[in-house]
Amino acid sequence: MANKHPYLTTHEGKLYLTDQEKGLRTSLEIKEVLYEERSPYQHIMIVDTVLFGRALILDGIVQTTEKEGFIYNEMISHMPLAFHPKAEDVLIVGGGDLGVAREVLKYPFVRRVDMVEIDARVVEASRTYLPEVAAPPDDRLHIYFEDGALFVGRKEAAYDVIIVDAADPVGPATVLFEHPFYAALERALRADGVMAAQSDSPIHHIDVCKRTHSSLKSLFPIVYPYFSTVPAYPSGWWMFTLASKRYDMLRPLDPGISTRFVNDAILRGSLAVPNMFAQALFSV
């Protein structure tokens, strides 16, 4: 049977999603395509994989999966919430699978979560096909379907914590990795605000990591790169960047917060920068 799905290939009667990086090609075996459409912004698929269960695929790139997506979501969410002593108003930029929202809403002192996502169809598909990833209904969650950069540009001193869960720096997400956007984030944070952003793979895209780190260093007095495994992503190693206006101490996780990957030791250890990355990130 001919394969009619873009971004998927067939080998010996089996479907595969293949990711191509410079010098590396990896393939993920697909059991079934559960949902597929081309929205006004991107191609969307929900697939059932052999290794990671259900997965959200945007323009052929894995965004999250049932069996390991919580690692990324916990790392990008709990680090800034462990730096800020009591974040009440939180903004998530991107995050259409609602996995970051699920983590942030675990904190009882968070009174409002705004999430701005350009593509409503990603949210709808995730709610329908990825209930183990997506946040359950919560009156504190307010979703805005519009351009994240434009939304942030209208805000001033509005949030305690901002989390940038952008897709890869291609297509509509490109602007979310540029200096003017980071400057707008700084303005949107309150005087003691903290932010965290996904910063791509330090193995394949150290240039993106360095550019993000340099931009935030020019805007915030306190900036830390931190790292985690993310098994479904290229190279399996990912970088995030935390930036803070005031707080420079990692607090223990709040009692009662349930996590599957993150704990105090994991967060502390993730702030250790391997020498090979330190040279690239911190060199002028």
172 labeled part of a ligand binding site? yes
59 labeled part of a ligand binding site? no
147 labeled part of a ligand binding site? yes
97 labeled part of a ligand binding site? yes
Containing H/E element for 207?
A: helix 206-217
The verdict on whether 165 is a catalytic residue reads yes
Q: How, if at all, do strands 61-65 and 43-49 pair?
A: unpaired
Q: DSSP readout, 64-129? A: EETTTHHHHHHHHHHHHHHHSS---EEEEEE-TTSHHHHHHTT-TT--EEEEE-S-HHHHHHHHHH
Strands (E), 145-210: 159-165, 189-198
Q: How, if at all, do strands 53-58 and 222-229 pair?
A: unpaired
Which residues are bridge partners to 116 per DSSP? 93, 144
136 labeled part of a ligand binding site? no
Cα separation, 269 vs 256, whole angstroms: 21
Q: DSSP readout, 211-266? A: HHHHHHHTT-SEEEEEEEE-TTSGGGEEEEEEEESS---PPPPPTT---SS--HHH
DSSP 8-state assignment for residue 169: S
137 labeled part of a ligand binding site? no
Tokens of 2: 């001919």
Q: Which of 119, 165, 168, 200 is catalytic?
A: 165
At what angle are helices 206-217 and 275-282 packed, to 10 degrees? 50
Query: Which positions are catalytic?
Result: 165
Annotated binding site for spermidine: 97
Binding residues: 42, 97, 117, 147-148, 172
Q: Which residues are annotated as a binding site for S-methyl-5'-thioadenosine?
A: 42, 117, 147-148, 172
